[in-house]
Structure 1
Amino acid sequence: MTEKDFDLTRRSFIDRVLLATAGAGMAAAAPWAGMAAAAEPAKTHPVRLGVIGTGDRGRALIQNIAKTHNCTVVAICDTYPPHLARGQVLAPTARAFTDHRAMLDAGGIDAVVIATPLNTHARLCFDALDAGRHVWCEKAMARTIADCGAMITRAKATGKVLQIGHQRMFHPTYLNALKRAKAGEIGTITQIRASWHRNNSWRRPVPADATDRQINWRLYRDSSAGLMTELATHQVQVGNWFLDAVPTRVIGSGSLCFWKDGREVYDHVALIYEYVGGRKLIYTSLLNNARYGCEEQIQGSKGTIEPELGRIYQEVPAKVLALQRMQKDVTRGHKRTVPIGGATWFPELPVTTPGESLGWGEYGETMLQFEGFGEAVRAERPLPGLLAQAYHASVASLLGEQAMDRGQAMSWPTDLVAI
């Protein structure tokens, strides 16, 4: 795959997804991509979206929606006037509301986009579904496992599409990585290491007309699980996806290790998710060192894939130790100079081969997921398999929070909603 292959200014959504999903095994691994790729763009008006929440993330979504061929923002809503005003700059023709119910009652929208604090997701989702609107909601799904399941139950009852914002499932590099893993190129996957490390307080300045909980909701337990729901959810989903399973249990440790500023959520987490067969996802996230940033290392018996970096690496033979080499020389009758006192062991440092590119460039995966959502809304049926991935990622992230809080291993729930 080359830069040209991923040129989003020249290729349709269908073409881009087909490039990544062609080949055996992908239909089962990413059925949403297959359905979206098979759909021809309808010759009708774009899907009309109302965006609830025009903070930083909501505005980023508005900008991505503007690049799609099948969606348009016709309404925006926010309870905080400065955010609403900034949203209007990006969507000047959209109607503006300060109450989401008023936006729903006004009509003229086919679906809503929810980009608000985590603890409001479920309530806003229920209101939109009950009003007959399809829903695209930011990840994580909800603040509790019970609310995550309730959102799915309500979507089924209303017959409306519910899609959660896991953009990596539409990222051409990740889709290519998954295709190559399914083809056996890195052998049997037994471990995934994932991290999301930053070096900042995650605390935002609070304007005079707002409260700390309103602006810094990610730092408080009633509105967020912090690193687990705002960051880890993405990478736990990647782990489940590549291992083609959900965890059997999780153990972990969380702490307020560096930022002693009154926050309630952990600033340093380390977890091990266990899967059938002894496979593991090892996850860490912290807020005082950015050296390793955001990455996943998908480790198999024949190689490693690092999709965030867009690289695939093959395993190389281990170095022969000096004593082993000398033994082979003696057996063959070969003579060579051997330094007395030479090292018989060398540290097994990371392999530094350049690997092979999985494709790189400006992919616009957030835009791609909205094009997929637009096709789902037009068909009035969800992209298959997508919601299950998001649900299980949210459950796993919240279960990890419970494991850290309780200091004990937490088993995968047996009473989850069937999808």
Structure 2
Amino acid sequence: MTDAEFELSRRSFLHRVMAATAGAGIAAVSPWAAVAAQASPAPGDRVRLGVIGTGDRGRALIRNILKTRNCTIAALCDSYAPHLAKGRALVDPKVRSFADHRAMIDAGGLDALVIATPLDRHAQQAFDGFDAGLHVWCEKAMARTIADCGAMVTRSRARRKVLQIGHQRMFHPTYLAARKRVQAGEIGAITQIRASWHRNNSWRRKVPADATDRQINWRLYRDSSAGLMTELATHQLQVGNWFLDEAPARVIGSGSICHWKDGREVYDHVALVYEYSGGRKFIYTSLLNNARYGCEEQIQGSKGTIEAELGRIYQEVPPKVLALQRMQQDVQRGHKRTVPIGGATWFPELPVTTPGESLGWGEYDETMLQFEGFGEAVRSGTPLPGLLAQAYDASVASLLGEQAMDRGEAVTWPTNLVAV
């Protein structure tokens, strides 16, 4: 893609973002995305980022940062040399590289850190950044424990620095359009959200001769990850909280190592029910041995359903009248019609197969937009409104789900959380 083609694509993407939020009150729909979409270029005044972690996800972030108009990569860091080399291949040869994040911070020349490391390292690396006067963008989930999630928020405030967590769906035009239409009442009162993230692979990566299994497969060990809950569920829990306009009251669930019995410590199959006020529910499943239903959310209201991952909205259809009920109504009205002796008195209530209506597909990676928003937040020293609260609640909810499965009992929402 040429620079001109890229800029045209970018403008088209930003137009979709603004169209998705316009007309319903931008502040109510997504004030963070509105700020990001209005980011302006500032040659010579780009926010200088130091990226910690250049594995698969870190390199995806690097590619998106390089597309932004207000951020630049000033340094890279990874303790695993092969990953660092792959990261360096994406950036200007003049970009400095380090094996230790503290050395990178001490070298100076940065405005903010981007953290894309194993979950258990997030909190300390964020603390080190804040204490050095740097802003922090961190991958989801926030941290390995609820206490560390709260401590990250507290430390960012104490140092008066921006803390932003990477929930890219909050910048996606399709989700923003969905949120707008929910607020307009198009699908009625939401009483249930069903979400799933199903894959059919072991999640285990081949370990090179120069690495350890814990180094490469950290997602499979309890000390460094909550597995499916923090690596996948946290995405969709954020969507659930966002569309239900609150955090859950409690969660029950069951987890098991059901299929991949290879020494892993985290569940490969989880099923949970999060309960919200008014009896509303978020039902979540994730597994690693069947990909038929993939990654999806079904936001179910009294008038319709939104399937955000598929970019579709469906209106409820009138219920079928059973044959005996129809005959009873005919008698009451004095109407006559032929009644087949062998006719069906019951119809299976199969899924609605109407095509629905498109919510709009984004052809652009919204990860770029969230970094432009982060750049604006760093410039102003003011976090994007509402973003951190969404991320904090999603991380807490994912870790509470882990607790509920481990204990085999319902776990209520903590009362001692940091106010965000």
Q: TM-score, normalised by structure 1?
A: 0.95
Letter of the aligned partner of 1:98 in structure 2?
A: A
Structure 1 unaligned segments of length 5 or more: list them: 1-5
Q: Which residue in 2 is equivalent to 1:3?
A: none
Q: CA deviation at 1:46?
A: 1.6
Counterpart contact for 1:14–1:36, Cα < 8 Å: no
Given residue 284 of structure 1, which amino acid in structure 2 is its aligned partner? Answer: T
Please, which moves more after superposition, 21-30 or 106-115? 21-30
Q: CA deviation at 1:199?
A: 0.5
Letter in 2 for 1:176: A
Alignment partner, residue 59 of structure 2: 59
Distance 1:324 1:241, change over 3 A: same
Amino acid corresponding to residue 21 of structure 1 in structure 2: T
Indicate whether 1:318 and 2:334 are aligned: no
Does the C-alpha gap of structure 1 residues 126 and 8 become closer, same or farther in structure 2, counting only changes over 3 Å?
farther
CA contact (8 A) 1:173 1:358 kept: yes
Aligned length: 414
**Residue 415 of structure 2 is aligned to residue 408 of structure 1:** no
In 1, Cα distance between equivalents of 2:145 and 2:195: 23
SS in 1 for 2:379: helix
Contact 1:194–1:296 (CA<8 Å) still a contact in 2? yes
Residue matched to 1:71: 71
The Cα shift of 1:89 comes to 0.8
Distance 1:320 1:299 in 2: 22
Shift of 1:334: 4.2
For residue 327 of structure 1, report the CA deviation from its aligned partner: 2.6
Contact 1:8 1:362 in 2 (8 A): no
Tell me what 2:389 maps to: 388
The Cα shift of 1:133 comes to: 1.0
Instruction: Flag the 1:42–1:14 CA change in 2: closer, same or farther, 3 A.
Output: farther
Tell me if 1:285 matches 2:286.
yes
- Report the secondary structure of 1:387's partner residue: helix
| Two-structure CA RMSD over aligned residues (Å) | 1.7
Which string of whole-angstrom CA distances, capped at 9 and with x for unpartnered residues, describes residues 296-350 of structure 1? 0000010001111000000010111111222333445544332213220111000
Residue in 1 that maps onto 2:192: 191
For residues 327 and 266 of structure 1, what CA distance do their matches in structure 2 show?
53
Q: How many angstroms apart in 2 are the aligned matches of 1:316 and 1:7?
A: 42
CA drift at 1:208? 0.7
Q: Which amino acid aligns with 1:60?
A: A
**Equivalent AA in structure 1 for residue 350 of structure 2:** L
User: 1:125–1:151: 8 Å Cα contact kept in structure 2?
Assistant: yes
In 1: Cα distance, 2:317 partner to 2:14 partner? 37
Equivalent-residue separation in structure 2 for 1:287 and 1:8 (angstroms): 39
Name the counterpart of 1:296. 297
Could you report, residue by residue, the CA deviation over 1:13-34 in whole angstroms, capped at 9, with x for unpaired residues?
A: 7644322211235413422123
- Trace 1:17-416 onto structure 2 (pairs within 5 A): 17-37=17-37, 40-42=40-42, 44-93=44-93, 94-416=95-417
**Distance across 2 between alignment mates of 1:14 and 1:60:** 20
Q: Distance in 2 between matches of 1:25 and 1:248?
A: 28
- AA matched with 1:23: G
| Correspondence for 2:3 | none
> Does the aligned pair in 2 maintain the 1:49–1:110 contact within 8 Å?
yes
Question: Taking structure 2 as the reference length, what is the TM-score of the superposition?
Answer: 0.95
Q: The residue matched to 2:158 in structure 1 has which SS?
A: helix
Q: Is the 8 A contact 2:178 2:308 kept in 1?
A: yes
TM-superposition CA deviations, 1:70-128 (whole Å, max 9, x none): 11112110000100111111113321111111111111111111000000000100011
* Distance of 1:10 and 1:387 partners within structure 2: 25
CA pair 8-353 structure 1, distance change in 2 beyond 3 A? farther
> Contact 1:13 / 1:368 at 8 angstroms: preserved in 2?
no
* Secondary structure of 2:191 counterpart: strand
Specify the code of the residue in structure 2 equivalent to 1:395: V
The alpha-carbon distance between structure 1 residues 8 and 62, as it changes in their structure 2 partners (threshold 3 A), is: farther
In the TM superposition, what is the alpha-carbon distance from 1:272 to its structure 2 partner? 0.5
